[in-house]
A and B are shown apart, each in its own frame.
Chain A
């Protein structure tokens, strides 16, 4: 019961921090909308089909969702380190993963909101819609995507605690994730080696299912894609279990966490 309360408090505090943070609005609102505008201008070049414009309608939202999901986990660790509270968090009886669970869930809530302004911008600014939306498949795909983002964020968080450079590396590779996960164009457009790398990323499969649920054309192997995304997410969680153990040892045995 106390673990649930601790996770809930971490969730509430993260939501409150996000509401008052200007950075937060940049991640889930401004930044994705700027990408949506560029995306829709480019994708609508030469009278594009509506199936192509779908990538502009949802792409900005996906970018915002991902940015918030991984940023919340990563930044929360860095913020604690910079504020000198990281060691206190590790010294509390509550396991670190419970606190991060609350933080990541709060990020996912904010990230989901990111779809709304971008879809509105696409509709009112560019008259772009989702041409053949299958609501159930769309909702399930979004749920699977949320699970994959959740697992990745939870897995990445201990990396940020262990190595300070891990966050700057992932930050630098942020647009690489957009490419490999097919946020704004299908990964079929990529070189075959890049498609291989994309295949081991859980969001790639969930995003594929999400887009397929909005158009008539192309393959619609939803079950396979959902299972691939869920399976990979579970693998990430198994990796996270090992990493959290490593972080605990680093924090309690060597005492070098704040110096990482």
Chain B
């Protein structure tokens, strides 16, 4: 019992420290730039592109897809950046030398990003709904909210996998950029997955977001939880698999980084 309490204390402290020490946007200017301007202009860009190509009646399709993809901004960028920043600021060797439970430390990296991801989607969606006058009166809003939470968790799972690579890779943020924008192509954000070549469709369904976005679109059309439960369960399962894979990789690469002294390379 005492051990569990200690682990919880490490978990909570780690979340707090991550929030106060590692987030580059925790200033008014940084927040406006990276948490308001960037997400909102990303949604607007793709909604305008979609409206130009397919007509105004499809604005909600693009708005919803791109708003939900923003969870990846927090879940993938945020998680990868925390590991990359530990390296950049020279604190990675200290983290790896600490006796703290690795799983607890590892998962705590994702929590603030999950919360941030939810906030980003809400802000992005509200602005888009106002700007484009989108009609959500038929939407099942509680279910849509649940989809947002689930997607935020699952994209953080993917972020944990790539964050692990940051233990041995100096330019992990580049990887984050590539993964983030690849999700725009393969997860059915701006066009149906069925338009992709077969191999990419397989990739698509092995990633978070794909099922979650599909479920959210159905929720926006008024579907009940029973109609999208399969999609949400699949989304959660995929996210869990990526997180577990990420943890396993973290342990392997941690050992590799220790042997090669890679954690200090910058």
Residues of chain A touching chain B, judged by Cβ–Cβ distance below 8 Å, are 22-23, 26, 30-31, 34-35, 37-39, 41-46, 48, 52, 165, 168-169, 171-176, 178-179, 184-186, 189-190
Contact = CB atoms under 8 A, between A and B. Distances in A.
**Nearest 9 CB-CB pairings of A with B:** A172-B33, A172-B37, A165-B29, A175-B41, A185-B52, A176-B41, A168-B33, A34-B181, A172-B38
B255 interface: no
A162 B184 CA distance: 35
A168 B52 CA distance: 29
Contacts of A45: 53-54, 191
A170 to B, nearest CB: 8
B190 interface: yes
* Contact-residue bracket for chain B: 20 to 34
Nearest to B54: A45
A38 B42 CA distance: 13
Given A43-B49, A175-B41, 4 more contacts: A31-B181, A34-B182, A165-B33, A184-B49
A26 B174 contact: yes
Contacts of B184: 34, 38
Given A42-B190, A169-B33, A175 B51 contact: no
A22 B171 contact: yes
Contacts of A186: 52
B168 to A, nearest CB: 15
B177 A172 contact: no
Contact of A41 (B32, B174, B190): B190
B266 interface: no
A175 B42 contact: yes
Most buried by B among A31, A37, A165, A175: A175
26 contacts: A22-B171, A26-B177, A26-B178, A31-B181, A38-B190, A38-B191, A41-B185, A41-B191, A42-B46, A42-B53, A43-B53, A45-B54, A48-B53, A168-B30, A168-B33, A173-B33, A174-B38, A176-B41, A176-B45, A179-B45, A184-B45, A185-B48, A185-B52, A185-B53, A189-B52, A190-B48
